[in-house]
Amino acid sequence: MPLTLTPPDEMADKLSTDQWFAEAPLTDSSGSFPDWYQQLQASSWKQFCGNDGPTRLDQNWRFADLKKVRLSGLTAAATVDAEPSIKRALRSRLDAYAAHFVFVNNRLVHSETGSLPDGVICLPINEALAKHSDLVQASFMKEEGCLGGSKFRQIHAAATLSGVFVYVPRGIVCEDPILVNHFVGGDSATIFPHTLVVAEDNTSVSVMDTFQSIEEGEETCAIGNVDLYANNGANLQYVAFQDSSDLGAKHMQLNSSKAGRDSTIKSAFVNLGAAWVRNESINHMADNGADCQIYSSNLANGVQEYDQRTLQIHEAQHTTSDLFFKNALYGNARTIFSGLIQVLPGSHHTDSYQTCRNLLGSKAAEANAMPGLEINADQVKCSHGSTSGQISDEEIFYLQARGITAEDARRIISLGFLNETVSRLEGDKLKEFLFNSIERKFASVV
């Protein structure tokens, strides 16, 4: 029987022909939404239908296993019994919080906003679209750049969304974080979480999204988008904590940050679950003195693949940014990091760093890293680097000599390795929650 080999170009086309959705995933009536938003949904669906998606020839998908991106037969997540998920969210949340929202299969099922400072607007995104249309429109999905996820961005804009809109007026400090839980369940069920945070001049706010599966082993999908805006002198922190099912869940999140004059945005990704994860993060230092810090701490096991693409754009003078990613890999897990520092003309006195470190816990684990610089200004200080390696025998021996078993020694070293990024965040209770979650996950890996 003759064997026919498919040419690479044809294979690239075959990987992109799967039909993700038969129709736009709208689960609620859009009659109360403003005209501009309904027009955006319609145009985004049209663009999505004409987009073939990623191929092997796309540099933004270099090293990615495109078989994991072959999505077909997806459906908008259906209504399910939300009570178990609500109890789970309430049981695990931080002790102190300004507001708490729980979404189950794209639907709001629980909310508390009693501890928010006066004047802060914190609403489900669909409610904010109806009540504060102009305020949302000014900052909703304005990112024009792309790191390969355009098809995901288009279907997100065309769908019914979950998530929150947070607006902090000038001079207000929100001491405790705003917590948002997203649960998804059901084979091929898809949710579309959206977080939009606008921090006006001299404000402070922290938001944490948590993504989890309702049941283990279901092939669910989350396609999310995050817009972060910090105006002059603002301090904004955003954390995405993802602990979905390792066996079938897929998670895509597109982040965009824009920091104004003398403002700071800290954004962090903590990935512990999901079979396939794609994080894209575009960060604009848009005015003098702006600072963006991007952190990531990831624990991958089995056949999990974590794919992270970042862009740090310095658009003004005396701006700073610091990217610090850490991956601990076990089993046959794979990670991909591709990052670029871009210093635009006239952005003198830029100070920017980019670091990716990979700890390989098995011989079969694979880490790919592609850091880069593009400098078009004078008097800048920029550096990038990536390292990959295993825990050294000397470190294990040192701890064994002090009565610690080899297994516990590996756990201690790995936890310390991942906790270095978590420790750079603000909020002791939040950092404790993340560290304890990583520790629990590592126990199952061992």
Is residue 20 over pLDDT 80? Answer: yes
Average pLDDT (228-234) is 98
Q: How far apart are CA 215 and CA 374, in angstroms?
A: 44
Residue pair 222/182 in contact (Cβ under 8 Å)? The answer is yes
Under the banding of pLDDT at 50, 70 and 90, the label for residue 3 is very low
Closest CA to 278 of 106, 66, 9, 24: 66
In angstroms and rounded to an integer, the radius of gyration of the C-alpha atoms of the chain is 21
Q: How far apart are CA 134 and CA 144, in angstroms?
A: 20
What is the predicted pLDDT for the residue at 446? 59
pLDDT single digits (tens) 107-165:
999 999 999 999 999 999 999 999 999 999 999 999 998 999 999 999 999 999 999 99
What is the predicted pLDDT for the residue at 15? 47
What is the predicted pLDDT for the residue at 11? 46
Is residue 2 over pLDDT 60? Answer: no
**Residue percentage of the chain with pLDDT more than 70:** 95
Closest CA to 324 of 298, 344, 304: 298
Residue pair 304/337 in contact (Cβ under 8 Å)? The answer is no
Residue pair 211/244 in contact (Cβ under 8 Å)? The answer is yes
Cα dihedral sign, 42-46-52-58: negative
Q: How far apart are CA 269 and CA 424, in angstroms?
A: 12
Average pLDDT (8-16) is 47
Q: How far apart are CA 402 and CA 398, in angstroms?
A: 7
What is the predicted pLDDT for the residue at 29? 58
Name residue 321's beta-bridge partners: 292, 352
What is the predicted pLDDT for the residue at 284? 98
Give the orientation angle of helix 35-49 with respect to helix 150-158, to 10 degrees.
140
pLDDT single digits (tens) 375-400:
999 999 999 989 988 888 888 888 88
Average pLDDT (250-254) is 98
What is the predicted pLDDT for the residue at 30? 53
Domain map of the chain by residue range?
A: 34-393
What is the predicted pLDDT for the residue at 441? 92
Closest CA to 276 of 249, 298, 296: 249
What is the predicted pLDDT for the residue at 1? 36
What average pLDDT does the structure give for the chain? 93
Q: How far apart are CA 237 and CA 415, in angstroms?
A: 23
What is the predicted pLDDT for the residue at 51? 93
Q: How far apart are CA 227 and CA 240, in angstroms?
A: 13
Average pLDDT (29-39) is 83
Under the banding of pLDDT at 50, 70 and 90, the label for residue 4 is very low
Q: What does pTM read for this prediction?
A: 0.94
Amino acid (1-letter code) at residue 63: F
Cα dihedral sign, 402-441-428-268: positive
- DSSP letter string over 61-95? GTT--GGGG---S-EEPPP---HHHHHHHHHHS-S
Give the Å distances, CA to CA, from 208 to 136, 288, 443: 20, 27, 24
Is residue 262 over pLDDT 50? Answer: yes
φ and ψ at residue 288, rounded to 5 degrees: -55, 135
N-to-C CA span, the chain: 46
φ and ψ at residue 412, rounded to 5 degrees: -60, -45
By DSSP bridging, strand 121-124 and strand 334-343 are unpaired
φ and ψ at residue 205, rounded to 5 degrees: -155, 150
